[in-house]
Each structure stands twice: as structure tokens, then as C-alpha cells.
Chains A and B, each alone.
Chain A
Amino acid sequence: MIGKNIFAAGEINIDSFDLNPKTVVNNTGGTQFQMTFRATVDVAKFNARCGSDADSFYWYVYRDVTGVDLKRGSGEVAVSRTAAFLNLNFDQTISIDTTDPDLINGGTARYYGQVNCPSMVSIQIARSAGVPITFGSVTNKSYACVANNNKYACSPANLTNCSDVSACSGRPCVQIGTSLCGQDAGAAAAPKYGCNSSNQCVADVNGIYSTSNCDNKCGGSGGTTQRYSFEIPNPLKGGASDFTSLVKIIAQWIFNLAIPIAVAMIVYAGILFLTAQGEPAKVAKAKEVLKYAIIGLAIILIGSGFITLIQSILELGSGSQ
């Protein structure tokens, strides 16, 4: 089963999560399962999410019950930052408490794998799809294990420890229905997502595509649905966090620009006076330049005061004069 990053942005991708056997006949409580749990850690993202000092992450096996998730197993996996992407394989035999009341007399439960940051708050990173396990009584039972070839290997002598099957060495021996002997255990050890010809990461139902975990490996264009949280840092230095303060900053800048221009215009008027040589037309022009320079300066200095002025005119009737 393939992980979907439903919480975060690919800090850890669950490449594979599976539990075997799929059918548990003898539901005695602490049922032994062979867990397939493989994950790829994107170290850069992992550092950002869990902290660069985090030297491990937690894995969990949850039972998926509508409305509530029941923790049924957990462990810790060390993260040694030896590469940008770490492929971690922590397949192991785990014991899952299957004494849920609705399972004692047979039933089906879905279990999923999850990885979390190793912090106190234990931030959720990714969750796999659910693996359905069937519990219940089956008439023809046989002890078997899931062999290396992903098929059920039944014990010919029906020994409880499967010791007569060499393929079962070191593997949990559980009772299954005899009809399942030799059948595929339904494990999906390899990812069922792959890169197609157009460089998209798509669900690989028929196993045609490359079985490599295609996150970050399909020319950057993933076809899987991922949830990314991102934010654009404010490029405006100086504290402009809304439009009004941005306008204020721009206005201040234009104001600063206006003062040297005012100086230049007044000096220009002075030069016109100086070079007029008493000619009335030139003197008149110099006067105009000086007059409008001063009017312009006054308008600049009033600036946003005009808004207050107009506001006060509009509120004449309020009597708050």
C-alpha cells in the first residue's frame, strides 16, 4: 500500500506499508504480523519540519476506525543524515493487539502506517493507505507463514511453529485458511506509483511503470496529490504589512524626492530674476516660476493633510468644530 502525504509536504514519503497475513484465523489477542514499512526521508524537508537536531522519527500502526484512530503499534527509526534522500527499510515482525470487541468473533479491520516527528507534540508527517485484515473463524485452518516470495507457505504437518517449512524460518507462523495456501499474500512491497512516459507520477495499477518511488524523481512533476504548505516571505522591508502602510512608505519616498526638486525650482526662479536684466516679461516669468514653486511646495507639505481637510469639510454638520 502506498503512502499519501496527507499532512505535510513530503518530509517522509511512505513508499510501502503492508501487514501480513491478511487473514488471521486464530484471533488470540497479540497477533503477530509481518510488517513491510519502507519510507524515503527528504532530509532538507525533514530538518525544516522536525528540526535539524532530530535524529529519529516515530512510526505507528493505527487501526482505522471511523472517527477515531486506535494506536496498535509503534517504534522509532534513526535518521542518519548521510544523503539528501534516505531510503529507510524497517520491515519487522510486530505484535498488534487485535482484541477489539468487534474482531473477537471475526471481522475486518483496516490498519495504516504513519510517521511522525520525534517531538513532544509529535507532528504527523505522512500516513499510508489502509491495509484490510480479516479476522474470524475458518473451518479448514492451516499454520502458514508469508514466505520470501510473498506467498503463503503452509506447514504440511500443520505445526504451530511452521518449523517444517524452510521458507518460514524466522517468520511469524499463523493460522490461515487452507484455501490460501500457496496463494499470493497480497503484499504490495513495491510502490504502485510510477513515472509514466510524460514524466507524471501516476497510480500504477498494472505494474507497467517504473516501480521507483517517483516522488522527486519524475522530472519534478508529480502526479500524486500532495498537500504543500508554503508562504511567500514579505519582500517589503521596513514593516509594510498592509496596503495602507505600503502607500505611506511610497508617499514618504516621493515627499523626500520633492524637497530637492522644490529647492531646485526656487533657485531656478532666483536665476531667472538674476538674468532678467529688468525686462518686464522675463521678470514676470520669474515671478510665476517662484509663485508656483511655493504653491507646489505648500501642496507637498500639506500632503495627506488634504484628506483630513476634506474629511473635516464633509463632517461640518457634526458640530465637532
Chain B
Amino acid sequence: MFINIAKAADGGYQGVNLTIQSVFGIITGLACWFTRFALILMVVYIVFYGIKFMMAQGNETKFGEAKKSFTWGLVGVLVILGTYTIIATVANGLGADYTLIVPLRCGSY
């Protein structure tokens, strides 16, 4: 902000220039990371539920349980993939301008 503390190049103080504005970037980065994590988890769990169906071997109880798990899993997928839809829906319902706030700009990595 006012005093540039990071002067690592000339052997001064070590550290990163952290401003209050960069907190926004950090939080955004965490949200983006969390979304990517959820996408991976999504694949893992759908495969897992598929295995559950296979392991049921026609057993009615196990099959019912697997079906219920998969159904709620699909709800989870819907929520994760539909995050911005949910936010946009809520914002639109309240009459707010959501075009500037979603989706988050997550970068290319």
C-alpha cells in the first residue's frame, strides 16, 4: 500500500507485496481451486457409484441403495456444475446485475 516492503532483489526484506486488494485474488483463487477439486471428485464418485451398481449383483437392497446414492450424486453434480446458474438465478430473482460478478475469472491453469 504505502510502503513497499518486498525488496528481495537487493537483499533487503524478503516477502511478497501483499495488498488488501490481493485478498480478493486469493479468495477467488481458492474458490477456483475448490471448483476444480469438485470436478475431479465428481468423476471419482460417479465411477464409484457405477462400481456400487455392479457390486449390487441384482441384490434388491444393495441396488436400491446404489440407486439412491447415484440419484443424490447426480444432484451434487447438478449443484456443482450449476453453481453459476444458481447464483445468476438468485441475483436475477432479486433484480441485481450479475453479469459483472459471475462467472469467476479463474485463469488458464
Contact = CB atoms under 8 A, between A and B. Distances in A.
Interface secondary structure of A, over-half rule: helix
Contact of B75 (A264, A266, A273, A298): A273
A263 B94 contact: no
A301 B83 contact: no
Interface in A231-274: 235, 253, 256-257, 259-264, 266-274
Contacts of B96: 301
Interface stretch (A190-198, A276-284, A311-319): A276-284
Given A259-B104, A267-B35, A271-B41, A301 B91 contact: yes
Interface residues of B, number: 40
A294 interface: yes
A269 B87 CA distance: 13
Interface string B19-58: 0100110011011101100100110010000000000000
A264 B31 contact: yes
Given A259-B104, A267-B38, A302 B79 contact: no
B68 A278 contact: yes
Interface string B56-71: 0000000001001111
B69 A277 contact: yes
Contact of A261 (B2, B27, B77, B81): B27
Given A256-B24, A270-B80, A263 B73 contact: no
Contacts of A266: 79-80, 83, 86-87
B34 A268 contact: yes
B5 interface: no
A274 B94 contact: no
B74 to A, nearest CB: 9
A125 interface: no
B33 to A, nearest CB: 9
A214 interface: no
B41 A275 contact: yes
B72 interface: yes
Given A266-B83, A271-B41, A274-B41, A259 B101 contact: yes
A320 to B, nearest CB: 20
Contacts of B68: 278
Interface residues of A, number: 32
A272 B80 CA distance: 10
A202 interface: no
Given A266-B83, A270-B83, A275 B28 contact: no
B98 to A, nearest CB: 8
A274 B2 contact: no
Contacts of A274: 38, 41-42, 45, 72-73, 76-77, 80
Nearest to A275: B45
Given A264-B34, A268-B34, A271-B76, A301 B104 contact: no
A173 interface: no
Contacts of A39: none
B9 to A, nearest CB: 26
Interface of B: 2, 20, 23-24, 27-28, 30-32, 34-35, 38, 41-42, 45, 65, 68-73, 75-81, 83-84, 86-87, 90-91, 94, 96, 101-102, 104
22 contacts: A235-B2, A253-B24, A257-B24, A260-B30, A260-B31, A260-B32, A263-B31, A263-B35, A263-B87, A266-B83, A266-B86, A270-B83, A271-B38, A273-B73, A273-B75, A273-B76, A274-B38, A274-B45, A276-B69, A278-B71, A297-B90, A305-B94
Report the 3 A-B pairs with minimum CB-CB distance, sorted nearest first.
Answer: A273-B76, A274-B76, A278-B68
